[in-house]
Amino acid sequence: MSLGEMSLSASCGTQKRRTVSSLLAGRVLKRPKQEDGQRLQEAAVQLLEEQQNLRGLLKEVSNLHVCRLLGVQNEDQKQAVVSEATSPAMAASLLVCELRSRAVQLGVSVTVLIVKMVLERLVEITGEPEERKQEEEDKRREMLASSQTVQLCALLELSREMLLQRALCPTLLWQEYKRGERRPRLEVAYHLHQHNILPLNYIIESDEGVRSWLVPQLKALCGWAPLPEDEESKEAQHKVLFTVVRVLVAVGFEPSPDAVAADRRSSVLCCSMLDDMLFWFLDNVNKTSAGDEPELWIHVFDTSLCGVRVLAETLESFFMHSLTQSLTYKPRLTVSDAITLQNEWTFAKASRLLTCLYRKLAVIFTVEQLLRHLEQVLEMHEVNWKHVLCFLSTLLVYHQSAQPCLKELLSKLLSSAFEGYDLENMITAFLLARQGALEGPGIFPSYSDWFKMSFGGGSCYHANSKKSLVFLLKFLSDLVPYEPPQYLKVHILHPPYVPVKHRSLLMEYVSLAKTRLADLKESVEDMGLYEDVSGAASSVQYQAAQDVEKAVCLFDSTGRISATVMEASIFRRPYFLTRFLPALLIPRVLPVKADAQMSLIEALKKADKIPAAQYSSYVESCQKRRQQKQNAVCLDSHDDPLEVLKVQLQEFTEMVVDGSGEDMSAQLSRISHTLSAIFPGRPDEQIGQTVIRLHIDSPWSPELHINVIHMILRSFCQCMLDSYRAKPPNKLSVWASRFVSALLGNTQLLSSLIHRLWDLFLNQGPSLSPAHILGLATFLVHLHTSMSHSPLVQLVLPILPEPVPAGKALSLALVCSTQTNMIFCARLCVAAVCYGICKGESLFQAAAGLHPSSLYKRLLYLIPRLLPEARRANASSPINEHQEEMLSGLWSTVTGTNATWKKSAWHLWRNAAFQQLRQMPQCQLSFSEWLANELRVQRSEDGLSDAERQEYQQWVCLEHYLPLPEKQGGCGGDRRILCSHLLRAIMDQQLSEQRLDKFYPTMVDRGTCLPDIMSRLQELVYEMEVSRVCTSRENTAVCDFLFEFLSQRCSSLSSELSLECTLHIWNRVLLSLPAVLLFKIKPDGGRTTLDCSNLIAHVNQHQRQICSPAGLLPSHITAHFLRGLLGASVHCDRPGEEVNKAWSQICAQCPLLLVSTVHWWQHLNPVLLSLWNRLYNEESLPEQLQLLSECRLWACSLEKGQLLQMPPAAALLLAASLHRVWRCCEGDAHSFSAALTSLRPDRDVKNRQVLVFLLFLCVNNYLSALLFPQETSRNNAEAFCSELLSLLVDSADWLLIFKSHEPGVYQPVAMVTSDESVRLMPWAFCSLLLLQSSELLQRAVRCPGFLHTAVVSYTSVLQLFLDGRTPTAASETSDKRPKAEPSHILSRTKHLLLRAMSQSPPTALSSGQLRQLESTCADLDPELAAALSVHLDPHSLSPEMDFL
């Protein structure tokens, strides 16, 4: 009998039974006095002693607490009072008091009694009903029911109060609970922990068998899925799991250097249990039918899981340990298995749970840390290669910085492999590189590129010794039995660098690899010329089509047949004849004006690379095509196909309005059948073709096809207009998707459709009505969402490097060059993006595929430009707030009758979903993309005035992109990055204009925004320099930054033409910037000095390569440099002295600037003098610059026959002054000879040096006359050179200008002219010698060193001739003399050399020189080599001469 059932006859004569609660409630209502409390307690104790049932008492007291927790109220108001009165503390006090008395009576400890009572109640609450025990194990409920949880919490709260009164022993409670249960319940342990009764770490540490029950229950908990509507159980499930894991992580991984042995055992135990769970997770991931069982375990790796309760170091240790365990779990796969199966382990093919695990494990580490740890794991453990490679793929896909770090790791592995001939490092490097390549070129370079970069050059790892080469080839040979065929093809087509003497070793490997390919029934000939090995198979026809497109693109850009095609025509002739040529010679209607493909075909025909029969067949087929087109093909049908299609489309429109889905599918099938009759496809169309060639400059379809396309588009727009008046996009049926999908199956139809859309967007966009724009926008969205199974589009001529989805290709037709075009583009893009956002069920869908990101980026560019109020506006409301109303309102702004494009754009801009999309990388408009758009705007047709445009551009540059983080496309607050973007955009603009003119022929160049962007650059550069000078916070001067930018840009260019074009554009930028910025001002010993070393390096490295004529800077460039020199001296303490020092440095280190200054001095002198007078109020220039005027006066006096004292100037300066004066007087022979007589070289060394430098300048003129006869007088140059040679021929100094690579006083001549001119100096030497008299030649032969110089020059010219690099000129020169053929010059020079050898003594060449010349001539001219041996016997040389 319970306490509530006891009789209270003393209080009630009618013997009515009342509960303790009733009694207590009655006492409370009587407003007890203070002294009544003691009497009440005594009465309660007396009542308890009469008849005791402790279990019932505990149940009743705890049930009262449950009622309080659940808020249960009876109809009687007294129950509420009872609930307030019976707090856990009071109930516990009553129980403890009674139980102490009971314990005394029984003679046991009160603690034991309380534990027994609590344990019985605990078992009663958590016990399962009998019918539940009979259920199958996999269907049992792993969590307590809600009512059980409430009762358990009430019991434990009461127990905690007894614990606070020191009446309960929690350890004894756990021991008794564990002894009585088959396995302790994990949820009970969790609640004991949560109620601060017994912590989980104590349970783990004290229970030796904890693993046997905790791990299975964790697995069961992860595998149990509550009902979807049971949110309470789901929340409890997560709490239990995460709390237990948090404790395990804290005990297992928290650093404790002074831990005792017991703590270490606990740490090991927790680590082991976490490992068991991880292994269970990995086992389930690897099972094909695992379902979602282990997915819950992934969430334990969220970084926010442990919060502040676990140290950051502990979390890092746990994550790194888990990563190690996953990479080394079950290392059953061998390296050979990894090589064979690697293609199946890419990110796309890997298990989603596995990649999610690796992504979470990597989130708190840097890429460098992860790759370093991966390297350590690979070195120290046996690994599971599948997990290792999947982890690497995950890292590469989610981290952009992983690519350079992986390249560094690969380089390190290869270096270690070849240093110690370590196969493990070698195979690791290959597997990692291939895994990166499998993820595609956007993630990591292709395997062929990596293999060529690592092993294709003479400076690679294996090229330093034969042993290294054998090691590499042996390694590759060992891989052959396991290699997939695409890698064998790479090794064959791009073999490693092998010296000629070891070529046989390579051929052994090639033979082995080809044998293996034959066994696999693979042919190396089927591999494309430009194939990118990524592990994905592609058809041979598609490879050939790709090869043709790239070959045409390269021919269009260079004007020459690519070396790859020429090599294929020789070394891969079967592929060239059977694959490449058929793809190139597909018959078509040839354009009137030859395009790049026609030009390539003609070039191959001239090179005899196309068989005559095949070429004739191609021409005939093309002519037939033109005739067929002119005959206007018409369908041979009973019914007019246009009428049939018109009726079918009208019926489909009615079905869309009615919403009959099944009928629509059948109707679309009929429409598709009709379209297949109209667009039957070409007979020569390749099966499985996936690329549509979008021809911009040629007629795209017959008239019939044009009418059909118009009908299709009108029908689609009408359907959209009828259906979207009532409902937003997310409430509509899928008719639009089905409609577009029905068009994708017909490539010819889709090609005509894309051509028409391109024409509409490019040429007719502003004239389209709002209904048409809305329909076309939605059509574009659906076309984009179907891109996974729609053909790609390749623009012709290719403005993009590879085929792209149709949506992206068509977005290129949305030109934003005028205000009219901008408004049309904004209207179309607003409609498309609104539709995409409203149609998607989530923001992720809206970003991932419901509208092309290029359209979204267009809006990011256009809306702030057209709507100034949008530049500083924020989103109107959070994205999840009133989602339905927000989407409905957004769509109504587009389709409403009063909607305008400005209202729609403003509403969309402030939409939270639209702004959220900007956080996704694919939807971010970078600063470089903004600049490219802005530079296409035509200023004369821009909607912004000059002042408005300036305000807008300054906001974009300084307020928007400058503070924007780099990962979001901004500059991260760094003005140098902003300046780099501006410079890069300005320099790219001219090339982009040339490329875009081919695609937009209707666009007329009316002046772009280049001047405005140039102004922004000037503002920024000036601000950077002023900030640096005033604050000294920026260590890098502007000149350092500018010249470093140019050097980096030039280093990335491969062709001379691109380099020359880049430097010409750079000079335009240079002239627009303040000249003083080209000189660095720096402190030096308490003084401010000028540093012009960067400018000198710039002129020597870049400017001299583009001078025209060679060896002379343009006057405006020269003046700009000198103005900068004088202007920069303003910041120095002693301006005149600093100018003198800087000019002295220029004279010694920058001969090109010196010669150019002398040449233009007559024009520069007044300009510089005026500038110097304005700056310092001085009447004369600094001494070093005055010296230029003195040298000019001296040269003029010599020309007039006067004898003035030679100025104390450098020999090159004097020679340049003489050269300039004589060029001005048009080469008066008499005055020239007289002046030369006064400078006799035998009298003074300096005179000889002046004449030698002067000879070099004249030879440079002569070389320019040979190359450009229309610009330079050849007679004058020949006369100057002959006169100088007559004076210098007896001295060996004049020969040194033809050996500029040798150190000496004349070495600076190499830095005056371009490398091309220096390379052609031997040609000038031979040409000049043939013009001289026999007497002069006799003197030249006797000159020391002549024979060596002549033979070296002859062999250099011969090599130029064999390489096809001899200078070409017009058939007749300006003086009507015929051009000397290269072969004629070579034969005459050789004759001269043979005669000179017969007249030269044996001592004319040292034995070393003779051996060198014989070795050089042996391959080029064996006859000359024999003559050297016969006429100059080395045995007759004296020991003294041999020393030379």
- The pLDDT of residue 568: 82
Question: What are the residues facing 694 on neighbouring strands?
Answer: 795
Mean pLDDT, residues 5-19: 38
- The pLDDT of residue 945: 92
Q: What's the half-sphere exposure (Cβ side, CA atoms, 13 Å) at 457? A: 6
- The pLDDT of residue 534: 40
Q: Report which secondary-structure segment, H or E, holds 466.
A: helix 466-479
| Token reading at 659 | 């919403």
Question: What are the residues facing 1429 on neighbouring strands?
Answer: none
CA dist list (Å): 244 to 249, 364, 380, 553? 9, 22, 31, 62
> Is the Cα torsion angle 799, 803, 808, 810 positive or negative in sign?
positive
Label residue 83 by pLDDT band (50, 70, 90): very low
Higher pLDDT, 1232 or 1321: 1321
Angle (deg, nearest 10), helices 312-327 and 261-286:
50
The angle at the Cα of 433, spanning 428 to 434, to the nearest 5 degrees, equals 100
Q: Is the pLDDT of residue 632 over 80?
A: no
- The pLDDT of residue 686: 37
- The pLDDT of residue 1006: 61
- The pLDDT of residue 1325: 92
**Cis status of the peptide bond prior to 410, with omega within 30 of 0:** no
Question: Are 875 and 912 spatial neighbours (Cβ–Cβ below 8 Å)?
Answer: yes
3-state secondary structure (DSSP) of residue 184: coil
Least confident window among 687-691, 1218-1222, 1304-1308: 687-691
Question: Among residues of the chain, what percentage have pLDDT more than 90?
Answer: 20
- The pLDDT of residue 135: 46
Higher pLDDT, 1164 or 311: 1164
Least confident window among 98-102, 235-239, 1340-1344: 98-102
Q: Is the pLDDT of residue 600 over 80?
A: yes
| Token reading at 401 | 């910085």
Q: What's the half-sphere exposure (Cβ side, CA atoms, 13 Å) at 1097? A: 12
Q: Report which secondary-structure segment, H or E, holds 692.
A: strand 691-695
1109 φψ region: left (φ > 0), alpha (ψ -120 to 50), beta (else): beta
C-alpha span between 549 and 588 (Å, rounded): 15
Long-range Cβ contact pairs of 216-219 (< 8 A, separation 24 or more): 216/183, 217/142, 217/183, 217/185, 217/186, 218/186, 218/244, 218/273, 218/277, 219/277, 219/280
Q: Is the pLDDT of residue 1326 over 60?
A: yes
- Highest mean pLDDT pick, 31-40, 346-355, 887-896, 1096-1105: 1096-1105
Higher pLDDT, 1029 or 5: 1029
Q: Which alpha helices (H) appear in 870-917, and where do they start and end?
A: 883-895, 901-909, 912-917
- Spacing of C-alpha 1391 from chain mean position: 60
- The pLDDT of residue 960: 93
> Is the Cα torsion angle 1026, 1029, 1032, 1034 positive or negative in sign?
positive
Beta-sheet strands, E only, within 1168-1219: none
C-alpha span between 1048 and 980 (Å, rounded): 11
Would strands 691-695 and 1087-1091 be described as parallel, antiparallel, or unpaired? unpaired
725-741 pLDDT, tens digit each: 656 676 665 788 888 88
Mean pLDDT, residues 204-208: 80
Single-letter code of the amino acid located at 363: V
C-alpha span between 1398 and 1392 (Å, rounded): 10
Q: What is the largest CA-CA distance in the chain?
A: 160
Calculate the average pLDDT of the chain.
Answer: 79
Centre a 10 Å sphere on the Cβ of residue 104 and count the other Cβ atoms it contains: 10
- The pLDDT of residue 661: 57
Q: What is the DSSP string of 770-789?
A: HHHHHHHHHHHHHHHHTGGG
Question: Are 161 and 92 spatial neighbours (Cβ–Cβ below 8 Å)?
Answer: yes
Q: Is the pLDDT of residue 1004 over 90?
A: no
Q: Is the pLDDT of residue 712 over 50?
A: yes
- The pLDDT of residue 1191: 93
C-alpha span between 1060 and 1068 (Å, rounded): 13
- The pLDDT of residue 681: 55
Least confident window among 26-30, 856-860, 1026-1030, 1145-1149: 26-30
- The pLDDT of residue 84: 44
509-543 pLDDT, tens digit each: 888 988 888 888 776 665 656 544 444 444 566 67
85-98 pLDDT, tens digit each: 456 677 767 777 77
Place of tokens 């004849």: 577
Torsion angles phi and psi, residue 693, rounded to 5 = -90, 115
Question: Are 486 and 526 spatial neighbours (Cβ–Cβ below 8 Å)?
Answer: no
C-alpha span between 815 and 812 (Å, rounded): 7
Question: Are 429 and 410 spatial neighbours (Cβ–Cβ below 8 Å)?
Answer: yes
Q: Is the pLDDT of residue 68 over 60?
A: no
Higher pLDDT, 486 or 528: 486
1275-1310 pLDDT, tens digit each: 777 888 888 898 888 888 899 998 877 788 888 888
Label residue 842 by pLDDT band (50, 70, 90): low
For residue 1043, give the nearest of 1073, 998, 1000 by alpha carbon: 1073
Enter the DSSP assignment of 968. G
| Token reading at 688 | 């499985």
For residue 915, give the nearest of 849, 923, 957 by alpha carbon: 923
Q: Report which secondary-structure segment, H or E, holds 386.
A: helix 385-398
**Stated pTM of the model:** 0.56
SS3 content of the chain, % helix, strand, coil (to 5): 70, 0, 30
Least confident window among 190-199, 205-214, 525-534: 525-534
- The pLDDT of residue 315: 87
Q: Is the pLDDT of residue 798 over 80?
A: no
Q: Is the pLDDT of residue 841 over 70?
A: no
- The pLDDT of residue 377: 92
1039-1098 pLDDT, tens digit each: 888 888 888 888 887 778 888 888 898 999 999 999 998 898 888 777 888 989 999 999
- The pLDDT of residue 434: 92
446-482 pLDDT, tens digit each: 888 899 889 988 888 888 888 999 999 999 999 999 8
3-state secondary structure (DSSP) of residue 1243: coil
1007-1025 pLDDT, tens digit each: 788 999 999 999 999 888 8
C-alpha span between 295 and 239 (Å, rounded): 16
| Token reading at 137 | 């194990």
- The pLDDT of residue 1441: 38
C-alpha span between 954 and 949 (Å, rounded): 8
- The pLDDT of residue 308: 54
- The pLDDT of residue 130: 45
Single-letter code of the amino acid located at 824: F
C-alpha span between 1278 and 1271 (Å, rounded): 15
Q: Is the pLDDT of residue 689 over 60?
A: no
Scored b (16 or more CB within 10 A) or e, 1011-1040 reads: ebbbbbbebbbeebbeebeeeeeeeebbbe
Least confident window among 518-532, 939-953, 1147-1161: 518-532
C-alpha span between 1353 and 1367 (Å, rounded): 15
C-alpha span between 1070 and 1076 (Å, rounded): 11
Least confident window among 51-65, 118-132, 178-192: 51-65
Q: Is the pLDDT of residue 441 over 50?
A: yes
Label residue 1443 by pLDDT band (50, 70, 90): very low
Question: Are 1322 and 1356 spatial neighbours (Cβ–Cβ below 8 Å)?
Answer: yes
Long-range Cβ contact pairs of 202-210 (< 8 A, separation 24 or more): 202/171, 203/174, 204/247, 204/248, 204/251, 204/266, 204/269, 204/270, 205/251, 205/262, 205/263, 205/266, 206/171, 206/174, 207/178, 210/269, 210/273
